[in-house]
Structure 1
Amino acid sequence: MIEVLAYLGCLVAVVVVCYKVRLAGADRQTPGHRHIAGFAVCIAGALGLDAWMTLEITGPMPAIAGLVSDELKVAALGFLILFANSVRPAAIRGRRYVLVTAWTMATCLVLFFVSGADQSADVVTFTPDRVGFFVAYDVVLICYEVWGLLTFTTLIGRYARMVEPSLLRTGLRLITVGALIGVLWAAWQFDDIRIALSQHQNTTSEDEVSAVLAACCVLVSAAGATLTVWGPYLSGPVRWLGAQWRYAQLRPLWAAMHAAMPAIALSSVARQQGGVEFALYRHVIEIRDAQLALRGHIHPSVQEWASDAVRRAGTHPSRREATIEAATIAAAVLAHDAGVSYPAGVADPHRVDPSLAAETRWLAQVSRAFAHSKAVALVRARMAAELSGVPSTSS
């Protein structure tokens, strides 16, 4: 039953794609719209036929029904390749893709009939002397599907890299993921070859794994193709969740700084305004204000200590700068709490793009290192030892 539900889910997704294509084509019919419409029609027919064979609504279907389903899938993939070729800049003529698709469909047609396939109930059987033709049929089909999906992924991936970050780019990425799932779906058909060689037969309906892969392939691809339609409705919740996550990431660093210097917090009235996005913005400002206030408490040798600590702790190179900044803050907080100042010990914070997104990304790395890095713990311990032998001075 799971494969039936999977096929029905695929058909629903294809209907959504067809609806989007119809809306897009209301103003103009471009080759890209026609290609994606051709894909939707062919894949809907193939999956609908597969579901019909699985349900056996009219009894066992003839063996040729499986051939028709496979031919429709080949045609659908051919349309996908033509679509990917049409949307990329300086698109080349798609004649070679059409020729490969047509050759595959013709070869599969000949090999299927030469194999002498005969159907009894839901099983297609072959005579031992002709099973090789059906194996050749499967090999040609699988090779075309893998080649076609990888070609499609390459073409659409190149186009996606040139698109500015947006719902369109995200949709193209989803389509690429769907195509890669399709490669797994195609590769799973090698199981049919094993069954044909060992049992001289093949089932007309796909097994559960193949059906689920088919559903995932089409659903993810359909979601990507329609993302620009329904994506804006999710932008608000997604932005809110992202702000919540970044806010939680900054919390350990902010909490330590606020405990040392409560005055960095904005007024209670300001804290109650703007929701989580404003709270995130406020945390960034308060952390930066605290760093300015700690400049006079930075030990002159803390940068050297931190550099040595990241080497000893084996910190990954991509996290070293953030870890050094976190260690500098940790040592400065200890010195501030002890009332010790170092007028000559000034270290400028790491410079990032002047935007909230860049600031939060960087400070999130610093906050993680502040809370969890072994190198920061080493610097904190060294600073504590240094303070234990230094007389307190007024800030």
Structure 2
Amino acid sequence: MKPWKWVIIVLCMLVLSGCWSRRELNDILIVLGVAMDWANDEYLISYQVVNPGEISAQKEGGQRPPGTVYQGRGKTLLEAARYVTAEAPRKMYFGHLQILVVSEALAKRGLSELFDGVLRDNETRLDFNIVVARGSKAESFMKLYTPVEKLPTYSMLQSLRTSEKSWAPTVSVTMDQAMDRLSGNGYELALTGIQLFGDPQLGESSRNVESFRAARRFRYKGIAVFRGDRLAGWLNENESKGYSDITDNLDSTSVELPCGGGRYMAIEILSSKAKLATELIDGRPAAEVRIRSEAAIVDRPCTELDLTDVAVIEEIEQQAARAMQANAEAAVAKVKGLKSDVLGFGNQISKDYPAYWEQVKDSWNAEQFPQLDVRYRIELFIRKTGTIGNSTLKD
């Protein structure tokens, strides 16, 4: 055989040498959720790992919970993580991490150190979601028994994704998106909040899911506004809706229009598209929020309204547009007061007027943004009135 053929064979053997970095399932703990708290001037990290045998579809549930929580404390994240090794029987594997819950106390202290540590780990993917725990420790979410889904991390992830598509006050933010916000031009970080309700003593017991309604349960509530890497404040439900509208995160939601007698007509947003436009007027920045939405009427308790009348439909469209504008105005006013441009006005100005942005980027949040003149052009079109038009039911 010619020498050059031997060289090719050797090179192929080196390339096709197998999975040299593989890890056997029996040698690792698969981490699905991480909770990070700040207490007593140190980090408290909680890892939720899966018990594969307890969630297997081919095996009935045993006496063990579907997951196990390991915790570590330390002055640094590394110390807290290494502290866990004194208890955990195997090495942690983060390739399947689904959600990271950060406490309010840690969010107020700052997230840069946390994010820096995550980015330096070459095993951790950056597609997991980040949420902020409101009113309770982040570790509590790792120990919660949840209905339907056996693991709380998966339940939280599915609920976050579902509510983002159907409920405007919720937004799903992954680690890579958060890093873009913290390192990008002209916008700040915003994360969805999560809160616990009900009996805290039953939450960590299997009895929590033995009734039709869990005694302890979670709910996504509000959006956390950051200034830099630190939590600056919260948006309420209407302000959160306005945030989703302006930042083009709205997929579908509902708008309720009063029609007298304590009755409300339900309007479902079917699609929405938002855009920011900026300009400089006498050296001062101004912006316009443009939102175009399509909607459907899904509930008609206001029987005096004739849905076959074009003028009535136009009036409903205008009312719904005004309701959306009120939410947008509330969101803008709130973040101006917090001096945190989570809506991305500065980012649009940096694209439209880069020379001006270079002059104001360091003082934008504190000086120019709170004084920004914002106008609104919101259009909403009713495309559907249901399959029956005016109801045939008697009043």
TM-score, with length taken from structure 1: 0.23
Say which one has the larger Rg. Answer: 1
User: More strand per residue: 1 or 2?
Assistant: 2
User: More helix per residue: 1 or 2?
Assistant: 1
The structure with higher relative contact order (CA 8 Å, sep 6+) is 1
